[in-house]
Structure 1
């Protein structure tokens, strides 16, 4: 028997051993995911092997503290690392095809790292390692004057919410790179995200248009801020003139901010005066109080920020479920309850094309599917695509052109009136009248546009009273009483 026949016979003898070995494989390309999103870490047996009666263990740093553990025919969540509670899922229905992939939800910065897919085949075991890259895009950078340096003006570029640390570049108007002289990094212990401050010193011979670029090398994205510095900041002879100029500019900025604040407050007074006149009263004193959203009533997929903004997301938020929350409607109530008086607040709905807002009774249905109608204790209007409607039996199209970006809601409890106004145009949209309110009412927000913020603004509570006859001949006024005031 020659050498070639011997080699073939040898390969035939060892083939059953090689083909009988089960291997597991991860993804061909390392997965990359943004903070707040979900990701699937792929893990597949080859050849296909049923996993129902095997142990499937995912772990990151410690074998004994698994990210997820499946054994004895069920998920053993008691052994799970606390950092992953409620955020992991195996595709149990695909175990028959050898799919041991892990779904990891609501990614945060601490999830970045190497994960191991470990399968115990009883007589043997196999494992595959998957490198997960997590990226967080920070806020748009803002540029600020940091002070006077040795050779010029020190300018800082700051941004929050990055992971990992961003790569920072400075460029002049010719897109030539400049060197940032100092970098400060701060890491949030709760979120793991970075705040970065990068500084550069601008000299008199480099007066130009500048750019600060921050790049996330994991997500392959960058954001940029532009600014210009005039030559007046670089006097030739007297450094004190530079200091004086900076102080002068800061004073001007403060004055402008004060003017803007007072104009905004005056505008708010004009808006509220309009609503007071609707009921025939001409004089009023106006202040503001905060309106907050009640997290316990929020639909599981609603994200709340600063308790005055909300938006719909693709996944459920990590908060304790309450029996008071909406289960079917993507809605939330305000924390403020109204059982009398007159109230006015503003809801910002710009860029949102599917919303409803108004008031709802305390006993209105929240757990089951229900139409937002007055007979179901909802007094609301709705926008759907380009039109606005009344949420009642008529479903009337409102005369709301241009489409409102801010909607004022006016509630007069005793008179049974709920009115809606386009804040920008001061125009009336719709009123529900003739109601007899007998229980607490709450501000109501509903949105079905994913990732579009809805914000509720300040609320005013008005109390009616008469002045003595000797002073105003019975003239009636409004006196503003803030929620929580001592009156």
Structure 2
């Protein structure tokens, strides 16, 4: 039949159809998309984080070329090619800190693991997948966050018509938000604020505030991390005598007002005297009786006023003392409410590298341990389970040795190699190679003008407060955040190296029993003026 193909032509057509997939370009069968997280990833400083990407549809990435990089293709974070990682192409800051997560690589899912996250890791990333001549990439963002030190708040002194308060902290990322609040929760605007980044990219902040309201009482400085939502705050009490005196125009106004009042009183007195003179003849007896009655009432009123004034003065004095105790500014105010504690050393708790004196008040390193880097600790013989107390320690040659002192729990580890921190049951400070600093998880040297020679340790067991003072200058050194104590606490002493010694100073009037319980202290009772409620009352202070 004409128009119908022959059988040989049908065979050629069938073979051509079978070979067409091999002759056509294979690009459409190899195409895929690369997808990354749609929301930014959050990583904590010093921790680990994974940056994941995947193919859609899912394709095995074992034979692909994979690359994670920053803003430029050459800024490689991780390179995977020919079935293995290529560390020679990485940026210097990621060398040894990145590795490929391959558990789901056969299903088209891969992630780069970044260890020991740094502030410089913050920002955008790109992941690049390539198979043959076809490639795709996706973008993702990493936000790094870290909470630094607690704010250090101090009163700098009068400024203009108020008191200048400064707040400083370090080790934050990103830039922290600074908030000032008064005793009633009202927020203040910062007078000045400055942020500085160190070599690691972490922020240090210094903020200042001028408080002009004499009745504000406590002022709180808080630092807020906007990514983690975490906050650290410290409050300080501003006594009223710190505020400058009233300006001269106010004094002049008060003097003028007093003079006017005296003139009015004089005019009234003259009018009353003239009126009395006119009526004296008719009302002589009545006036005499009234004078006697007024004299009697005046004496009674004077007696009442004297008693009320005395009670008011006593109340103001107690409030003044309580306010200064809370301010934690001077050691002599703390000594008044913290009885001396008779500390002696327990030779049975001393490390073999230490020498305890015969009177059990001085500890030194053995001569054989001074050059060998010996390190040992010893506890006080008397344990503390309640109340509040303080003792003083003299440090000899403290700048030529490493030493630690404070308090610790009874069950802490003191053998072998160990470190001190509140998390491990130690509330201590000391001198180290980096300087004088508190023993915390992330120790930071304290900005002292000079190394203390006589250190006072103040312990309030019930309120969980441990504070240290320079007893030579009478100034505050450091206070740990409030803790919840349980069990027995012991005085703690440790010499790590050098030729120095720690000596417990004799205390005048030290008690033989336990520290004074809190419920026996008059300063712990609610304070209010006679005849008035303590709710919402301000704290008037004597000048």
Aligned twin of 2:95: 85
TM-superposed CA distance for 1:207, in Å, is 2.6
CA separation of 1:289/1:113 partners in 2, compared to 1, >3 Å: closer, same or farther?
farther
**2:242 is the alignment partner of 1:233:** yes
Structure 2: state its 5+ residue gaps: 1-25, 249-323, 386-406, 432-494, 501-543
| Secondary structure at the counterpart of residue 67 of structure 1 | strand
Aligned twin of 1:420: none
TM-superposed CA distance for 1:127, in Å, is 0.8
Task: Give the counterpart of 1:37 among 42, 47, 53.
Answer: 47
Aligned twin of 2:398: none
**2:227 is the alignment partner of 1:218:** yes
TM-superposed CA distance for 1:221, in Å, is 2.1
**2:330 is the alignment partner of 1:253:** yes
CA separation of 1:179/1:256 partners in 2, compared to 1, >3 Å: closer, same or farther?
same
Work out whether residues 345 and 361 of structure 2, in 8 Å CA contact, stay in contact via their aligned partners in 1: no
Task: Give the counterpart of 1:345 among 377, 388, 406.
Answer: 377
Task: Give the counterpart of 1:444 among 375, 396, 416.
Answer: 416
TM-superposed CA distance for 1:93, in Å, is 3.7
Work out whether residues 187 and 194 of structure 1, in 8 Å CA contact, stay in contact via their aligned partners in 2: yes
TM-superposed CA distance for 1:204, in Å, is 3.5
Task: Give the counterpart of 1:56 among 58, 66, 77.
Answer: 66
CA separation of 1:483/1:135 partners in 2, compared to 1, >3 Å: closer, same or farther?
closer
Work out whether residues 59 and 115 of structure 1, in 8 Å CA contact, stay in contact via their aligned partners in 2: yes
Divergent runs of 4+, >4 A: 16-20, 248-252, 254-260, 272-276, 278-281, 287-290, 335-338, 423-427, 450-459, 481-486
Q: Distance in 1 between matches of 2:27 and 2:214?
A: 75
CA separation of 1:80/1:425 partners in 2, compared to 1, >3 Å: closer, same or farther?
closer
**2:345 is the alignment partner of 1:271:** yes
TM-superposed CA distance for 1:24, in Å, is 0.7
Alignment of 1:259-338 (within 5 A): 267=343, 270-272=344-346, 282-283=358-359, 286-288=362-364
Q: Distance in 2 between matches of 1:226 and 1:19?
A: 66
Q: Distance in 2 between matches of 1:223 and 1:483?
A: 35
Q: Distance in 2 between matches of 1:202 and 1:443?
A: 50
Once the two structures are superposed, residues 225-257 of structure 1 have per-residue CA deviations (whole angstroms, 9 ceiling, x without a partner) of 223322222243489xxxxxxxx9999726579
Q: Distance in 2 between matches of 1:193 and 1:68?
A: 25
Aligned twin of 2:125: 115
Alignment of 1:10-29 (within 5 A): 21-29=31-39
Work out whether residues 158 and 242 of structure 2, in 8 Å CA contact, stay in contact via their aligned partners in 1: no
TM-superposed CA distance for 1:281, in Å, is 8.5
TM-superposed CA distance for 1:122, in Å, is 2.3
TM-superposed CA distance for 1:285, in Å, is 7.4
Aligned twin of 1:357: none
Q: Distance in 1 between matches of 2:496 and 2:115?
A: 43
Aligned twin of 1:195: 204
**RMSD across aligned C-alpha pairs, in angstroms?**
4.8
Once the two structures are superposed, residues 238-278 of structure 1 have per-residue CA deviations (whole angstroms, 9 ceiling, x without a partner) of 89xxxxxxxx9999726579999xx79x73xx1145668x9
Once the two structures are superposed, residues 16-52 of structure 1 have per-residue CA deviations (whole angstroms, 9 ceiling, x without a partner) of 9888630011113211111111111110111111112
| Secondary structure at the counterpart of residue 29 of structure 1 | coil
Once the two structures are superposed, residues 267-295 of structure 1 have per-residue CA deviations (whole angstroms, 9 ceiling, x without a partner) of 3xx1145668x9999456734469xxxxx
CA separation of 1:68/1:148 partners in 2, compared to 1, >3 Å: closer, same or farther?
same
Work out whether residues 164 and 211 of structure 2, in 8 Å CA contact, stay in contact via their aligned partners in 1: yes
Work out whether residues 346 and 458 of structure 1, in 8 Å CA contact, stay in contact via their aligned partners in 2: no
Once the two structures are superposed, residues 361-418 of structure 1 have per-residue CA deviations (whole angstroms, 9 ceiling, x without a partner) of xxxxxxxxxxxxxxxxxxxxxxxxxxxxxxxxxxxxxxx999xxxxxxxxxxxxxxxx
Aligned twin of 2:82: 72
Q: Distance in 2 between matches of 1:482 and 1:131?
A: 46
Give 1 or 2: higher helix fraction: 2
TM-superposed CA distance for 1:163, in Å, is 0.4
Work out whether residues 204 and 231 of structure 1, in 8 Å CA contact, stay in contact via their aligned partners in 2: no
Q: Distance in 2 between matches of 1:61 and 1:81?
A: 12
Work out whether residues 171 and 178 of structure 1, in 8 Å CA contact, stay in contact via their aligned partners in 2: yes
Q: Distance in 2 between matches of 1:205 and 1:485?
A: 50
Q: Distance in 2 between matches of 1:45 and 1:20?
A: 12
Once the two structures are superposed, residues 310-340 of structure 1 have per-residue CA deviations (whole angstroms, 9 ceiling, x without a partner) of xxxxxxxxxxxxxxxxxxxxxxxxx9566xx
Q: Distance in 1 between matches of 2:121 and 2:171?
A: 15
Aligned twin of 1:130: 140
* TM-score, scaled relative to structure 2: 0.47
Q: Distance in 1 between matches of 2:204 and 2:356?
A: 53
CA separation of 1:62/1:482 partners in 2, compared to 1, >3 Å: closer, same or farther?
closer
CA separation of 1:425/1:41 partners in 2, compared to 1, >3 Å: closer, same or farther?
closer
Larger Rg: 2
